Amino acid sequence: MISFSLSDEQEMVRETARKFAVEELRPRLRQLEKGGIPDELRRRFHELGVSLIDVPEAAGGMGLGATTAALVHEELAFGDPGAAVALWGPHLATAAVVELGSPEQVARLLAPFAAPDGALRRGAVAWSETGKDLPFAGMATRARRDGEAWILDGRKAFVIHAGDADLTIVFAQIGDGWDGVGAFAVTGRERMRAGAASRWLGLEPVRAGELILDGVRVDEADRLACDVARLRRFFARAWITTAARQVGLARAAYETALAYTQDRVAFGKPVAHFQAVSFDLAEMHMEVESARWMVWRAAAELDAAAPSAVESAAKALAHANQAAWRVADDAVQLHGGAGYIKDFPVEKWLRDTKTLALIGGSDALAQLVVAGIGFGLPESIVQPVVT
Amino acid sequence: MISFKPSAQQEMVKGLLHQFSATVLRPITLEVDRTKTFPDDLLLRMGQMRGAMPPGGGAASEEYTGVERKEPQKGPSSSNRFTMVASEELAWGDASLLLSLPGPGLGGPPVRFMGTPEQRERFFAPFKTGGLHWGAYGLTEPGAGSDVSAIKTSCRRDGDGWILNGRKCFITNGARADWVVIFATLDRSLGRAGHRAFVVEKGTPGFACGKIEEKMGLRASETAELVLEDCRVPHANLLGGDELYQRNEGFMGAMKTFDFSRPTVGIMAVGIARAAFETAREFVREHYLLARPLPRYALIAALLADAERKIDAARLMCWRAAWLADEGLPNAKEASMAKAYAAKIAMQVCRDAVELLGAHGLEQSLLVEKWYRDIKVFDIFEGTAQIQRVVISKRILREPPSF
């Protein structure tokens, strides 16, 4: 049955996340931008328990699935998109283990995050690389067998929590092409080196950078299953997370612009009462809502294991990325000169939305996935399309 | 629980209507667009199909099936969501035939929401026979479209009846309707409080059809001008009786119709956009450019991916408004957003579809040129793109910001 009803549990979780976002994150937005996330804030966030929302119950989490997680991501990003990403300790390692891991691996690898002392533990996913002429699947990092273990060599880029992560899911080529991609769970902070830190356009509280793997040894027991179907679901989970954050960011920008334009007077009345402004506000509102429903649909489909879930997630990502950029840009515009200075938060959100869009799977990739599926996708993630 | 999967029953009807649209409506869609006439037996059959929808499963179905509730719908139902699923499929087949379906049409909601039990019984009676009967909604005038409160059609009490004078325009099914809900004003200086709604029956002396409009699109749908000249209407046809207007609910009745009609109009635009998108997708799949299949060009692939995504988003906006209505929650803002958003994206999709087909896009037999003409009115009727933004922005400036 088509329904937009949240369960009582979801309402409660959303309310908790919203309260935290409004009271703890929004007022410290600039402070977090400059100084990053203090440990005491991480501990307070951990106590809320919302970061364990999609950690399976077997590993001590709440097991509430992607839909409830999307509600939480939206609320946290409504408070501050940078904090929303940085505070989420396990990061996408949870999504990767949930989709690629066996029940034993899920319980073993994710339990430390759910433990009472898990507040400062971090997870990471090392997927991206830089460089030209990479092999088709896009990776130069290799994994070679050594008896009962694997040896990883290579250099990963744009890794959130690089060097700080207690659990890093490293993707590397075992063989050629997509079918040759392997996923490895590397535990501990000491076995890999952090390279140059990334300095980004936005999302300042997030620490990220290069990750260097010099013969990192991983037990066979820590190799995750990595077939294309599972990889797609992992990506879907990651895309939904980013899309939900974009919705929260867009909602923040919209509401801030709504308040500002009702307060700012020009030509004798609040500028919101000019149709040139109020029509923009109406468009912004529609963008936010449509993006939110796209996210909810994708998450609900993923939770129901519907075959369309991956495609819906790609659509949600493309839609939310575009909607959020448009809304953030309009919000800056409606503030006029005030929008460009740091006394107001909207300039930050315009930087954050582009950053989110580029670290969380680009619109272009999502569009190709949608088009590829529409035209009958072979067993690859993206059908090559000529530019 | 959050879910976007239609119920099994809805899926069944969707499948049935899709089949009907593909095999019966599509083959004649171009012909009815040219001739603006269509066989009565087809409409009868369509009417029966609507009647075949399960009772309780259609906002409108109670009027068609004769299973009318004693009281207007209160509390949760699924009828609006059902209408969404069904209307999208029929509009995918032919939107103008959907608008021509026998039934009370837009006249239904004001009779249902404003009418007394006696009036509901009397005016819905003709539709229970399953024959060729229509109702219509007469609000728009040559000088009053978006500004509904500016209507000039006058009404004055005269003994046990009322005398109506004025002109109505752009009335869907206006000439063939058994009755039309006519909105008139007692005294223009009273503004909205002076509005009265009457059910004016076909054949009433002084009530005549002016011209039938020639339109750019949706040509098989009848759009009529109606003229009231000293037209005498019995007091029993004043919708809701005197009591309703003492509560000052006349104007609200006119507006409440839109809470139900706008999401439906939105989902019709989605159906048309989907038709255009699917046709374009099939076309590019089969065509080559410079020895390469068209979908292998990123530009083409991106256009199609964009179109499909926006269609999905528009559908969800319509479903959202319909779900709120089903839950008995206020949905005026969401209904406007659904209509405004769906019309906007459907315009883009139909335009892109024409372009994707290149010169073939102009060819009538491929239908995209027809959808390109049909879709434009969705930006205009049931409230223009502009007035929707007025409605939305007035509400967002008034309501608490958080959602």
pLDDT, one tens digit per residue, over A351-360 is 999 999 988 7
Residues of B in contact with A256 (CB under 8 A): none
Search chain B and give the residue with CA nearest A71: B2
Residues of B in contact with A281 (CB under 8 A): 393, 396-397
Tell me if chain A has a CB within 8 Å of the CB of B325.
no
- Within 10 angstroms of residue B110's Cβ, the number of other Cβ atoms is 25
Identify which of B7, B81, B302 has the shortest CB distance to residue A371.
B302
A117 contact partners, CB below 8 Å, separation of at least 6? none
Pair A188, A181: CB distance under 8 Å: no
Tell me if chain A has a CB within 8 Å of the CB of B5.
yes
CATH says A8-120 is which class? mainly alpha
The β-bridge relationship of strands A142-146 and B223-234 is unpaired
* pLDDT tens-place string over residues A169-181: 999 999 887 778 8
Query: Taking residues A54-83, what's their average pLDDT?
Result: 93
Tell me if chain A has a CB within 8 Å of the CB of B295.
yes
Calculate the CA dihedral of residues B372, B373, B379, B381 and round it to 10 degrees.
-150
Query: Taking residues A330-355, what's their average pLDDT?
Result: 96
Query: Taking residues A262-278, what's their average pLDDT?
Result: 95
Report the amino acid identity of residue B389: R
According to the model, what pLDDT value does residue B47 have?
73
Q: Place A385 in a pLDDT band, splitting at 50, 70 and 90.
A: very low
Residues 10-49 in B contacting A (C-alpha not used; CB under 8 Å): 10
3-class state of residue A315 by DSSP: helix
According to the model, what pLDDT value does residue B301 have?
85
Interatomic CA distance for residues B86 and A178, integer angstroms: 41
* pLDDT tens-place string over residues B317-358: 999 999 999 999 999 999 999 999 999 999 999 999 999 998
Pair A113, A121: CB distance under 8 Å: yes
Q: What is the DSSP letter of A338?
A: G
Spell out the domains of chain B, with CATH numbers in brackets: 8-105+116-129 (1.10.540.10), 135-250 (2.40.110.10), 257-398 (1.20.140.10)
A368 contacts B298? CB cut-off 8 A: yes
B2 contacts A1? CB cut-off 8 A: no
Mark the ranges of chain B whose per-residue pLDDT is less than 70: 50-75, 401-403
Search chain B and give the residue with CA nearest A65: B2
Tokens of A387: 């530019």
Query: Taking residues A281-289, what's their average pLDDT?
Result: 97
A250: Cα within 13 Å, side-chain hemisphere: 30
A374 contacts B304? CB cut-off 8 A: yes
Angle between helix axes B298-326 and B250-286 (nearest 10 degrees) is 150
Angle between helix axes B298-326 and A363-374 (nearest 10 degrees) is 90
Chain B closest-CA separation from residue A106 CA (Å): 26
A74 contact partners, CB below 8 Å, separation of at least 6? A244, A245, A247, A248, A251, A292, A295
Query: Which ranges in chain A are annotated with CATH 1.20.140.10?
Result: 228-374
Q: Which residue has the higher pLDDT, B289 or A342?
A: A342
A294 contacts B316? CB cut-off 8 A: yes
The β-bridge relationship of strands B179-185 and B135-138 is parallel
Tokens of B30: 């171009």
According to the model, what pLDDT value does residue B56 have?
36
According to the model, what pLDDT value does residue B51 have?
59
Interface with A, mutate which of B2, B85, B329, B356 (most A CBs under 10 A): B2
Interatomic CA distance for residues A302 and A232, integer angstroms: 11
Interface with A, mutate which of B3, B310, B394 (most A CBs under 10 A): B3
Q: Which helix (H) or strand (E) holds B168?
A: strand B161-172
Report the amino acid identity of residue B41: D
Give the residue from A249, A373, A240, A246 showing the smallest Cα distance to A298: A240
Residues 208-267 in B contacting A (C-alpha not used; CB under 8 Å): none
* Cα torsion angle, B12, B16, B21, B22, sign: positive
Pair B198, B214: CB distance under 8 Å: no
* Cα torsion angle, B188, B191, B197, B201, sign: positive
According to the model, what pLDDT value does residue A179 have?
79
* pLDDT tens-place string over residues A203-242: 999 999 999 999 999 999 999 999 888 988 999 999 999 9
3-state percent helix, strand, coil for chain A, nearest multiple of 5: 55, 15, 25
Helices (H), B287-331: 298-326
Pair B219, B33: CB distance under 8 Å: yes
Tokens of A219: 């037990």
B278 as an active site residue: the answer is no
Calculate the CA dihedral of residues A155, A156, A157, A160 and round it to 10 degrees.
-140
Tell me if chain A has a CB within 8 Å of the CB of B384.
no
Chain A closest-CA separation from residue B144 CA (Å): 20
Query: Which ranges in chain A are annotated with CATH 1.10.540.10?
Result: 8-120
Q: What is the DSSP letter of B134?
A: B
B242 contact partners, CB below 8 Å, separation of at least 6? none
B397 contacts A258? CB cut-off 8 A: yes
3-class state of residue A294 by DSSP: helix
Residues of A in contact with B76 (CB under 8 A): none
Residues of A in contact with B314 (CB under 8 A): 290
Interatomic CA distance for residues A95 and A84, integer angstroms: 16
**For the purposes of burial, counting CB atoms within 10 Å of the CB of B164, is it exposed (0-12), middle (13-18) or buried (19 or more)?**
buried
According to the model, what pLDDT value does residue A368 have?
75
Report the amino acid identity of residue B235: H
According to the model, what pLDDT value does residue A344 have?
95
Chain A closest-CA separation from residue B389 CA (Å): 6
Tokens of B134: 């229509």
Q: What is the CATH number of domain A228-374?
A: 1.20.140.10
Cα angle, residue A347 at apex, residues A346 and A348 outer, rounded to 5°:
90
According to the model, what pLDDT value does residue B129 have?
79
Pair B297, A362: CB distance under 8 Å: no
According to the model, what pLDDT value does residue B55 have?
40
Identify which of B295, B314, B317 has the shortest CB distance to residue A375.
B295
Residues 67-86 in A contacting B (C-alpha not used; CB under 8 Å): 67
B3 contacts A289? CB cut-off 8 A: no
- Phi first, then psi: give them for residue A288, nearest 5 degrees: -65, -50
Pair B202, B178: CB distance under 8 Å: yes
According to the model, what pLDDT value does residue A132 have?
64
Residues of B in contact with A319 (CB under 8 A): 309-310, 313
Residues of B in contact with A262 (CB under 8 A): 397
Query: How far, in Å, are A248, B135, B396 from residue A285 at the CA level?
Result: 12, 35, 8
Tell me if chain A has a CB within 8 Å of the CB of B313.
yes
3-class state of residue B122 by DSSP: helix
Interatomic CA distance for residues B28 and B23, integer angstroms: 9
A301 contact partners, CB below 8 Å, separation of at least 6? A308, A309, A312, A313, B4
Query: Which ranges in chain A are annotated with CATH 2.40.110.10?
Result: 123-224
Query: Taking residues A254-271, what's their average pLDDT?
Result: 96
A319 contacts B309? CB cut-off 8 A: yes
Chain A closest-CA separation from residue B292 CA (Å): 9
3-class state of residue A203 by DSSP: coil
Chain B closest-CA separation from residue A1 CA (Å): 4
A75: Cα within 13 Å, side-chain hemisphere: 23
Q: Which residue has the higher pLDDT, B42 or A304?
A: A304
Pair B270, B312: CB distance under 8 Å: no
Question: Among A15-29, A287-301, A302-316, A361-375, which is the least confidently predicted range?
Answer: A361-375
Interatomic CA distance for residues B347 and B353, integer angstroms: 10
Pair B271, B218: CB distance under 8 Å: no
Residues of B in contact with A370 (CB under 8 A): 305, 308-309
Residues of B in contact with A377 (CB under 8 A): none
Tokens of A152: 């990883």
Tell me if chain B has a CB within 8 Å of the CB of A1.
yes
**Protein fold of A123-224:** Butyryl-CoA Dehydrogenase, subunit A; domain 2 (2.40.110)
Catalytic: which of B88, B222, B369, B382?
Answer: B382
A385 contacts B301? CB cut-off 8 A: yes
Percent residues over pLDDT 70 in chain A: 95
Average pLDDT over chain A reads 91
Query: How far, in Å, are A39, A80, A92, A348 from residue A86 at the CA level?
Result: 11, 10, 11, 16
Predicted TM-score (pTM) of this structure:
0.91
Report the amino acid identity of residue B278: E
Q: Could you report how far apart the first and last alpha carbons of chain B are, in Å? A: 18
Pair B132, B143: CB distance under 8 Å: no
Tell me if chain B has a CB within 8 Å of the CB of A297.
yes
According to the model, what pLDDT value does residue A124 have?
96
Residues of A in contact with B396 (CB under 8 A): 258, 281-282, 285
A20 contact partners, CB below 8 Å, separation of at least 6? A44, A45, A48, A50, A75, A76, A79
Question: Among A198-202, A250-254, B295-299, which is the least confidently predicted range?
Answer: B295-299
Identify which of B312, B319, B392 has the shortest CB distance to residue A285.
B392
Interatomic CA distance for residues A332 and A112, integer angstroms: 42
Inter-chain contacts counted by CB atoms under 8 A, chains A and B: 152
A289 contacts B397? CB cut-off 8 A: no
For residue A218, the cross-strand partners are: A150
A313 contact partners, CB below 8 Å, separation of at least 6? A235, A236, A237, A239, A240, A243, A298, A301, A302
Q: What is the DSSP letter of A251?
A: H
B263 contact partners, CB below 8 Å, separation of at least 6? B80, B84, B318, B321, B322, B325, B331, B334, B335, B338, B339
B302 contact partners, CB below 8 Å, separation of at least 6? A364, A367, A371
